[in-house]
Amino acid sequence: MKLGFSPEEELFRKECADWLNAEMAGEFRDIKGITKLTASPERRKEWEQRLGEARWGCIGWPSAWGGRDATLAQQVIFAEEYARAGVPGRVNHIGIELAGPTILAFGTEEQKQRFLPDIAAGKTIFCQGFSEPGAGSDLASVRTKGRLEDGEWLVNGQKIWTSLAHISDWIFVVTRTEEGSKGPKGLTFLMMPIDQPGIEIRGIKQINGDAEFNETFFTDARCAADSMIGAVGDGWKIAMGLLAFERGVSTLGQQMGFRNELDEIIAAAKANGAANDPLIRQRIARAEIGLRLMRYGALRMLSNTDHSKIDGAALTYKIQWASWRRSLGELAMDVLGQGGEVAEGSEYEWDTLPNLFLYSRADTIYGGTNQIQRNLIAERGLGMPREPRGDV
């Protein structure tokens, strides 16, 4: 068991930090410190390409596909330095962390060559088409239909909560391709270009006034036959494989974003005197401890190579961070007081902390609600009987 980094790794840290800081002080200084995923989309696409050119876009990928074959420690370091330098979140995180690894794991050689270099180069932005109005927690009940006609898939139906669909180039969707099939059977995983007449995107205004998520409508939308990942009927297997990639090293970068949020709360508490209140001090200490434990939980999960047993740290990670962040939002408002409930201008737009308070209500819902997480933990982690299923 070892926590420290080697001198070579510390050198790598410096290399990352130097490059990121130079970029954030130079050509991309206008996007430094942005926390909202929806702000300055065009500039942030350019940033994706800059990362790609310099081969910093997906360092954990094989070098043959635009990565650096980075070790776990190097990936940890890069994620930390990325956030420390105030670089905004990746608008192509779905491409880098989900679509790319899925293509690497399940795609054909031809598909790897077609997609991976462009994802790595920041030229293809991906979004995820899983949830539907009738398939939220119960993902296997998707109804969006796919049928093969004249060597091409035609897709009809509706997806929802497609984060950043409005700035994406491609979408991967789970479609029901076997007429009359139910549940996880008869599903197929397709990748489709978004810019086509059969796809329409409508933003969903959220409680914070922003619109990161979308409804995506498919009306005879087209998908080339060779853009199917895996075989017909493999959709569920591939979707589940993809979700396993979700708990990668990027979680550490996400945590650095949390670090910045907590630091902002600490600064606000010091500025307005809340930091002298013993109850607030206890809550800040709890938040600090929770954040550190999140980091070491993630490092345990990433260091673990024994996949023969259920990894408790991995299984509980989602609910842990989501619940922590929701509490952080509440702490932020208690520190800010009523000042947190008033925006600066006439627009319904919120600074980092009030926005955190509102946005974090989504954290405990998307990617598996806290209730679903508890079911999964009890069933997979503790061997409790599965929930009874109604008629599909």
Residues that bind other proteins (CB under 8 A): 1-5, 9, 72-73, 76, 266, 269-270, 273, 275-276, 278, 281-282, 284-286, 288-290, 292-294, 296-297, 299-300, 302-305, 312-313, 315-316, 319-320, 371, 373-375, 377-379, 381-385, 387-388
List of residues 6+ apart from 321 with CB closer than 8 A: 251, 254, 255, 258, 294, 363
Q: Per the structure block, which two tokens stand in for 152? A: 């091409």
- Report how far residue 200's alpha carbon sits from residue 309's, in angstroms, rounded to the nearest whole number: 43
Take residue 236 and report the two structure tokens written for it. 């569920």
* Least gap, CB of 83 to other proteins (angstroms): 17
What separation in angstroms does the CA of 201 have from each of 21, 92, 110, 129? 36, 18, 29, 12
Q: Is the dihedral of CA 92, 98, 101, 104 positive or negative?
A: negative
- Comparing CB distances to other proteins, the nearer of 11 and 54 is 11
Residue 129 CB burial class (10 angstroms; 0-12, 13-18, ≥19): buried
For residue 374, the minimal CB distance to other proteins (Å) is 4
Residue 58 CB, nearest approach to other proteins (Å): 20
Amino acid at 272: N
Q: How far is the CB of 254 from other proteins (least distance, A)?
A: 17
Q: Is 347 among the catalytic positions?
A: no
* Shortest distance, position 299 Cβ to other proteins, whole Å: 4
For 123, the token pair is 């030229």
Q: How far is the CB of 315 from other proteins (least distance, A)?
A: 8
Distance between CA 16 and CA 57 in Å, rounded? 12
Annotated catalytic residue within 15, 178, 200, 246: 246
Do residues 57 and 87 lie in contact, with contact meaning Cβ atoms separated by under 8 Å?
Answer: no
Considering the complex, state which of residue 13 and residue 159 has its C-beta at the smaller distance from other proteins: 13
Secondary structure of residue 309 in the 3-state scheme: coil
CA torsion sign, 366 to 368 to 370 to 372? positive
Q: How distant, in Å, are the alpha carbons of 81, 145, 240, 293, 366 from that of 374?
A: 33, 31, 18, 19, 14
Shortest CB 380 distance to other proteins, Å? 10
Nearer CB in complex with other proteins: 230/290? 290
Of residues 53 and 288, the one with the C-beta less far from other proteins: 288
Cα angle vertex 254, ends 63, 56, to 5°?
25
Beta bridge partners of 223: 153
Question: Which residue number, 31 or 319, has a Cβ lying nearer to other proteins?
Answer: 319
**Rounded distance, CA 59 to CA 146, Å?**
35
| Length of the chain (residues) | 392
Q: Which is nearer to other proteins, 343 or 378 (CB)?
A: 378
**3-class state of residue 172 by DSSP:** strand
Give 16 or 103: the residue with its C-beta nearer to other proteins: 16
Q: Looking at the annotation, which residues are catalytic?
A: 246
